[in-house]
């Protein structure tokens, strides 16, 4: 079930203030791949992730998932589509401070007025080694534990693609290594494609497919 972008572009501003954040990008990502996109700050990598995942709309081009044009959907349909098909892990954990770890994890499912699969929840939290922390509030967890909760939240709806935007940016080196290992293992364990934005060459080298972006232009670095 590939994700396909065709002639994707994103332009901000007009005339003398015009900035091309993404320039005519075309890419196909196959089901189950771990793809890293590396580039410096301001290169367009986060813009690309936001367009591929339906968070932001392109100036031009299309994004197809399962042969469906995501940007032909209305706002409510697109929001539900993202919750049901995609999982997200960001640099900022984006946990709701008044909810427990378990409640944060289950939020994407509850927003669709469904109940979480309790057996799957146990499997997921055991795998991420946070089953003993589910009743804790975010401020009672370490940074690494909060990011594990965010990873569990990304996986709870059994997404087909996980989008990770600098997921280790707020973590120390030890926690960073653990989270990357868990993300890559989790994507394989639970059958999700993993698309990761990073500025860290060492992290990108763990991926099966490496892409680089500079001034909004995407290039293939290495394919294994």
Evaluate whether residue 17 is within a structural domain: no
Cβ 27 vs Cβ 5: under 8 Å: yes
Query: Over pLDDT 70: what percentage of the chain?
Result: 98
How many structural domains compose the chain?
1
Domain of 203, in residue numbers: 31-43+74-223
Mean pLDDT of the 10-39 span: 90
Evaluate whether residue 58 is within a structural domain: no
pLDDT value, residue 180: 87
Evaluate whether residue 126 is within a structural domain: yes
The CATH number of whichever domain residue 192 belongs to comes to 3.40.50.300
Evaluate whether residue 114 is within a structural domain: yes
Q: Where are the alpha helices (DSSP H) in 26-70?
A: 45-52
Strands (E), the chain: 3-12, 19-29, 34-38, 60-65, 68-69, 86-90, 161-165, 193-198, 209-214, 217-223
Evaluate whether residue 53 is within a structural domain: no
pLDDT value, residue 222: 56
Evaluate whether residue 11 is within a structural domain: no
Cβ 176 vs Cβ 103: under 8 Å: no
106-154 pLDDT, tens digit each:
999 999 999 999 999 999 999 999 999 999 999 999 988 999 999 999 9
pTM of the model: 0.90
Mean pLDDT of the 33-41 span: 90
Evaluate whether residue 141 is within a structural domain: yes
Evaluate whether residue 118 is within a structural domain: yes
Dihedral sign, CA of 64, 67, 73, 76?
A: negative
């Amino acid at each position: 079930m590939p994700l396909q972008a065709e002639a994707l572009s994103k332009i901000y501003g007009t005339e003398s203030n015009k900035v091309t954040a993404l320039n005519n990008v075309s890419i196909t990502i196959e089901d189950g791949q771990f793809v890293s996109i590396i580039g410096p700050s301001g290169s367009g990598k986060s813009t690309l992730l936001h367009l591929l995942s339906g968070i932001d709309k392109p100036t031009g081009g299309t994004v197809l998932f399962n042969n469906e044009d995501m940007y032909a959907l209305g706002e409510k349909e697109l929001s539900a589509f993202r919750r049901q098909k995609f999982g997200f892990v960001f640099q900022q954990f984006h946990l709701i401070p008044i909810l427990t770890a378990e409640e944060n994890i289950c939020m994407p499912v509850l927003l669709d007025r469904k109940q979480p699969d309790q057996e799957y929840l146990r499997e997921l939290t055991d795998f991420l080694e946070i089953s003993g922390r589910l009743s804790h509030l975010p401020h009672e967890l370490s940074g690494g534990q909060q990011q594990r909760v965010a990873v569990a939240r990304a996986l709870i709806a059994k997404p087909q693609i996980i989008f990770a935007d600098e997921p280790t940016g707020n973590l120390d080196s030890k926690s960073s290594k653990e989270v990357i290992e868990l993300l890559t293992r989790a994507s394989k364990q639970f059958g999700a494609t993993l698309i990761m934005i990073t500025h860290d060459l060492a992290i990108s080298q763990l991926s099966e497919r490496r892409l680089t972006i500079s001034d909004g232009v995407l290039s293939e670095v290495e394919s294994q």
